[in-house]
């Protein structure tokens, strides 16, 4: 089984995304391919790009593969799934190899039971029966909230609770979802999300009878029973130094399949002259390090497939320098590197927290010293200029908070 995360397909990267998906599917050699949501590029609804992905699904069907397409939070337009028309076409043809999933459902794939939990704004209607059967105070509290996001969070958690009660096997299962986990900061992540953002209860991640797997958050990580593999390509410059992978499961072992659509790299230019060969090696090594981080800490064993080098022609390189001066770019950066990568930007080296605190302490001490010096100078001036009225003037200055 091959699992592929957020695609966010757009005309600007359409051909590269489709080519990479073809390559990864072919290299994995799996009959079952699971797409876990977010096909729309940040709510832009690029119809030409979206249809190109449908063409790929039909292509995979013709190759004899079975494809599962889970709905993500970006994939709804006025309450309708963006691939609703494609779903009708597939159903009218009577095929059973492309499955569009917009409601919770159990599926047995390659000997594993998977609960698909799609993002769906209409889950409230689907969940009426589950509400009456739950005794979880947190979910009931969320349902009573005046905030729509918290209400939907309550319904999603109740549905997950109900579906797990109806699990078709006592063996270990997989929950493939497209939601945040509430009030949790994950490894390598800066932010965290609450129930207002529509999220699952973090208690689900403590269970050892299931594997939680999703994409949704673009930076991949492993935490407890939760495996998040991010997006298939870097959709924003803030996604720098992030590995992008698909995941193949075979014989209970996960294999990471690196994807090379584009890459944002941020490197420190420690030497005055940035040498092409050295910088390319640093970019590739950083990408390997990020991939290796995903191979430890989870419930299941994860290995790595054949390494796919980061395409340097698709790299937007951010060089961290002491002084940001584009006038010195040609002097500092070898011409061959400028011609190799897609773009180069200079960024002043970010100071560490400890350095910032040290700077503040020094500034405060200098300010105090300067203030004392000014008081001494003023008091000396008053004494010399008005020796007889000195005490009166000093008292006046003190009342005015000048001395």
CATH numeric code, 2-259: 3.60.21.10
When pLDDT is averaged across residues 298-322 and rounded to a whole number, the result is 80
- Confidence class for position 99, pLDDT limits 50, 70, 90: very high
The domain spans of the chain are: 2-259, 260-350, 354-399
Given this model, what pLDDT does residue 66 score? 97
Tokens of 238: 């803030």
What does the pLDDT look like over 223-259, one tens digit per residue? Answer: 899 988 889 999 888 888 988 889 898 777 788 888 8
When pLDDT is averaged across residues 134-157 and rounded to a whole number, the result is 89
pLDDT exceeds 90 at position 137: no
Given this model, what pLDDT does residue 91 score? 82
Given this model, what pLDDT does residue 341 score? 93
Q: Tell me the C-alpha distance between 307 and 310, whole Å.
A: 9
| Mean pLDDT, the chain, integer | 85
What does the pLDDT look like over 374-401, one tens digit per residue? Answer: 677 777 777 777 777 777 777 776 776 6
What does the pLDDT look like over 18-67, one tens digit per residue? Answer: 999 999 999 999 999 999 999 998 767 888 999 999 999 999 999 999 99
pLDDT exceeds 90 at position 210: yes
Lowest mean pLDDT among 72-86, 174-188, 206-220, 389-403: 389-403
**Three-class DSSP labels, the chain:** CEEECECCECCCCHHHHHHHHHHHHHHHCCCEEEECCCCECCCCCCHHHHHHHHHHHHHHHHCCCEEEEECCCCCEECCEECCHHHHHHHHHHCCCCEEEECCCEEEEECCEEEEEECCCCCHHHHCHHHHHHCCCHHHHHHHCCCCHHHHHHHHHHHHHHHHHHCCCCCCCEEEEECCEEECCCCCCCCCCECHHHCEECHHHHHCCCEEEEECCCCCCEEECCEEECCECCCCCCCCECCCCEEEEEECCEEEEEECCCCEEEEEECCCCCECHHHHHHHHHHHHHHHHHHCCCCCCCCEEECCCCCCCHHHEEEEEEECCCCHHHHHHHECHHHHHHCCEEEEEECCCCHHHHHHHHHHHHHHHHHHHHHHHHHHHHHHHHHCCCCHHHHHHHHHHCCCC
Given this model, what pLDDT does residue 68 score? 97
Q: Tell me the C-alpha distance between 277 and 345, whole Å.
A: 18
Q: With beta carbons less than 8 A apart as the criterion, state whether 319 and 345 touch.
A: yes
Given this model, what pLDDT does residue 32 score? 97
When pLDDT is averaged across residues 129-153 and rounded to a whole number, the result is 82
């Amino acid at each position: 089984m091959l699992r592929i995360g957020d695609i966010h397909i757009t005309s600007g990267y359409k051909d590269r995304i489709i080519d990479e998906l073809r390559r990864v599917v072919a290299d994995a050699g799996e009959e079952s391919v699971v797409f876990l949501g977010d096909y729309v590029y940040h709510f832009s609804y690029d119809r030409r790009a979206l249809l190109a992905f449908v063409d790929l699904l039909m292509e995979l069907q013709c190759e004899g593969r079975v494809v599962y397409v889970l709905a993500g939070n970006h994939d709804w337009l006025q309450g309708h799934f963006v691939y609703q028309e494609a779903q009708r076409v597939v159903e009218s043809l009577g095929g059973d190899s492309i499955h569009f999933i917009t409601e919770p459902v159990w599926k047995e794939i390659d000997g594993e039971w998977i609960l698909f939990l799609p993002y769906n704004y209409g889950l409230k209607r689907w969940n009426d029966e589950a509400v009456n059967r739950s005794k979880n105070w947190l979910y009931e509290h969320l349902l009573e909230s005046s905030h729509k996001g918290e209400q939907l969070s309550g319904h999603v958690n109740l549905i997950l609770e109900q579906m797990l009660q109806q699990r078709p096997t006592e063996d270990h299962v997989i929950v493939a979802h497209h939601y945040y986990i509430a009030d949790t900061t994950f490894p390598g992540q800066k932010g965290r999300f609450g129930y207002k953002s529509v999220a699952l209860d973090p208690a689900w991640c403590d269970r050892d009878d299931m594997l939680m797997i999703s994409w949704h958050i673009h930076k991949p990580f492993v935490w407890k029973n939760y495996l998040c593999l991010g997006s298939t390509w870097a959709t924003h410059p803030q996604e720098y130094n992030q590995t992008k992978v698909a995941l193949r499961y075979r014989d209970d072992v996960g294999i990471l399949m690196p994807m090379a659509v584009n890459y944002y790299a941020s490197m420190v230019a420690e030497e005055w002259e940035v040498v092409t060969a050295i910088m390319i090696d640093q970019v590739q090594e950083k990408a390997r390090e990020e991939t290796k981080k995903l191979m430890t800490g989870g419930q299941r064993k994860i290995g790595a497939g054949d390494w796919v080098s980061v395409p340097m022609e698709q790299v937007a390189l951010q060089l961290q320098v002491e002084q940001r001066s584009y006038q010195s770019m040609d002097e500092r950066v070898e011409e061959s590197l400028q011609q190799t990568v897609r773009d180069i930007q200079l960024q002043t080296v970010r100071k560490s927290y400890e350095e910032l605190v040290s700077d503040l302490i020094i500034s405060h001490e200098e300010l105090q010293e300067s203030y004392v010096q000014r008081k001494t100078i003023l008091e000396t001036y008053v004494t010399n200029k008005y020796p007889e009225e000195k005490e009166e003037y000093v008292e006046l200055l003190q009342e005015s908070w000048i001395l």
